[in-house]
Structure 1
Amino acid sequence: MPTTKRAQPDACSLLDTDHKNVKKMFSAYEELMESKAASATGKKRELANQICMELTVHAQIEEEIFYPAVREAIKETDLLDEAEVEHSTAKDLIAQLQDATDIDDMFDAKVKVLGEYIDHHVKEERNEMFPKARATKLDLVAMREQLAARKEELMAELMGEPA
């Protein structure tokens, strides 16, 4: 009985799922920016906090697990250097959002710029880094499990729950 080989979910697919989830949150935030409802301000703060938490955890699992493994497995590491610089800049914007007391036009602008920045970063990972990682001998299926476990641990920490 012939079977068709389907690619198993791997580290790249887990990271890309995170990318897609955050993209939806940025889109929802943009809709709130257009809303004139009084409740929009509180919802924007809540959604911005969620975006910041997701991105913080995502960046940390990439930096702790994915990037070091890929860096060892591929010859050209310019892409990884750029990704780490992009993470650093995104973290600066995240800190500004988390420290903000007012949900005003500048807050909205920072969320919008962060979203655009993340879009650029995601395109580079999806189109360049992930294909290169998948072309190596790295066990990306096993790495997916490692990333998922670490993500769960970090989310629990940020939510104040025991790991």
Structure 2
Amino acid sequence: MTISKSASTGTSPRSSKSTRSPPNQGVLTLLKEDHREVKKLFTAYQRLVDLEASTAQRRIAVQQICTLLTVHATVEEELFYPALRTGSEDAKDLLDEAEVEHASVKDLVTQLQDMDPTDFLYNAKVKVLGEYVNHHVKEEESELFPKAKKTELDLDELGIQVKNRKEELMGSGIQ
């Protein structure tokens, strides 16, 4: 379902930008919050490695990273990307790239969930996952989010849907 500002405000879909209030950014704020949170989790994991923390502590930290990334990717793929794909012809190539990046991230998440933290490649895979995520975040925030702001999508309403879906996924014990 495409969510447009016109549907929620009663204005025409292509009303003049000069008379319209600044674009709603609810969904973008939520996604950015996830980006900041996962960055903190990767930093915390690296601290555990540096301190030679137990495998149990590292496993818990990686599980938190994997859960957040899984929920985040799910809401982007189910709600944000489809809405943006219909709302912005300009974003098509970036959305295609983002979905490919998600596939790579999901692959590493699956590998990490199936590994023991004592495996000699465990820390390397966490590091590479962090690098993939950093690249993805930079592209989203510098290229994709500005395109979303220029659409007629109701980003506040989309934010509500994303928040509700995240709560549903977290409540289901997604891993």
Same fold per TM (> 0.5)?
yes
Secondary structure of 2:103's aligned partner: helix
Distance in 2 between residues matched to 1:130 and 1:43, nearest whole Å? 35
Of 42, 53, 59, the residue aligned with 1:26 is: 42
* TM-score computed with the length of structure 1 as normaliser: 0.89
- 1:136-147 mapped onto 2 (5 Å cutoff): 136-147=151-162
Quote the offset at 1:122 in angstroms.
0.2
Paired residue for 2:8? none
Aligned-residue Cα RMSD (Å) equals: 1.8
Q: 1:60 to 1:90 in 2, by over 3 A?
A: same
Whether the aligned pair in 1 keeps the contact of 2:34 and 2:72 (CA below 8 Å) is yes
1:63 equivalent among 77, 97, 111: 77
Preserved contact between residue 97 and residue 111 of structure 1 (Cα < 8 Å): yes
For 1:90, the equivalent position in structure 2 comes to 105
- Structure 2 regions of 5+ residues with no counterpart? 1-20
Q: Deviations over 1:94-119 (max 9, x none)?
A: 00000113433311110000000000
Which residue of 2 is the match for residue 105 of structure 1? Answer: 120
Asked if 1:16 corresponds to 2:32, the answer is: yes
Residue 128 of structure 1 corresponds to which residue in structure 2?
143
1:116 matched to 2:134? The reply is no
What's the % identity of the aligned pairs? 51
Query: How many residues are paired up?
Result: 154
Runs of 4+ in structure 1 deviating by more than 4 angstroms, as ranges, are 5-9
Q: Taking CA–CA contacts closer than 8 Å with sequence separation of 6 or more, which of the two structures ends up with the larger relative contact order?
A: 2
CA offset at residue 75 of structure 1? 1.2
